Chain A
Amino acid sequence: MEKRITQNILIFFMQTSFFSVLIVSGFAHARAWAPAPAFLTIAADLGVLLGLWIQWLAFKANTFASIVVAVIPTQRVVSSGVYAAVRHPMYSGLLLSNFFIPLALGSWCGMPLFLLMLAVVILRLLDEEKLLRQSLPGYEEYRQNVKYRIIPGIW
């Protein structure tokens, strides 16, 4: 269970953003608002799967991965697998899958809600990095070696 209030607020907004996309997409379907073509919907489904696959790779590489932002005494820096490409592959996968969910549900209407998810993930990630730099031995060196947070070559 997350104890820090900032993180609880951020988790609340992440969940709100996710549910809002599902709700807006349902409404949009009923009213035929901004429908996406079928080929784009199928492509978006593949995008969602790709995002989930990246999340799975992150879980596989990092046994310390958790919804709670915390450092446990036995924790060490993981720099193998997808963690060699970016420092927060879990968020890369999460953002990728959430970016494609509105289109996978057949409408463009939910796309603006992705911006809320993006903003919340960035805030959560920055807060998490602050904690890791303070509390996890070797994280600073890892940060120097792996330059990018969620998108290789960009950020």
Chain B
Amino acid sequence: MNAPALQASARIIVSLIIISFFPFLFAGTFNFWQAWVFLALFSTAQTLIIRYLSK
């Protein structure tokens, strides 16, 4: 993967992780197992997709 593609992928992945924290933000707590499971699954799946697309 070249540097611009790597940077773009990194930006997208960081954005996705930030987005995934929205439920915690509006719940006002990190005691929210459903959001943790969602965050883990969603971020991992999106990262794999982005990695595949960046090849």
The answer to whether B27 and A59 touch across the interface, beta carbons within 8 angstroms, is no
Interface size class of A (residues with CB under 8 A): 20 to 34
Complex: A45 Cα to B44 Cα, angstroms? 13
Among A24, A30, A53, chain B packs the most CB atoms within 10 A around the CB of A30
* Residue A12 interfacial (CB < 8 Å): no
* Residue B29 interfacial (CB < 8 Å): yes
The answer to whether B45 and A29 touch across the interface, beta carbons within 8 angstroms, is no
* Residue A106 interfacial (CB < 8 Å): yes
> Smallest CB–CB gap between B37 and chain A, Å?
6
B33 to A, closest residue via Cβ: A106
* Residue A52 interfacial (CB < 8 Å): yes
Instruction: Show the binding face of A for B, using Cβ within 8 Å.
Output: 19, 22-27, 29-30, 41-42, 45, 48-49, 52-53, 55-56, 59-60, 101, 104-106
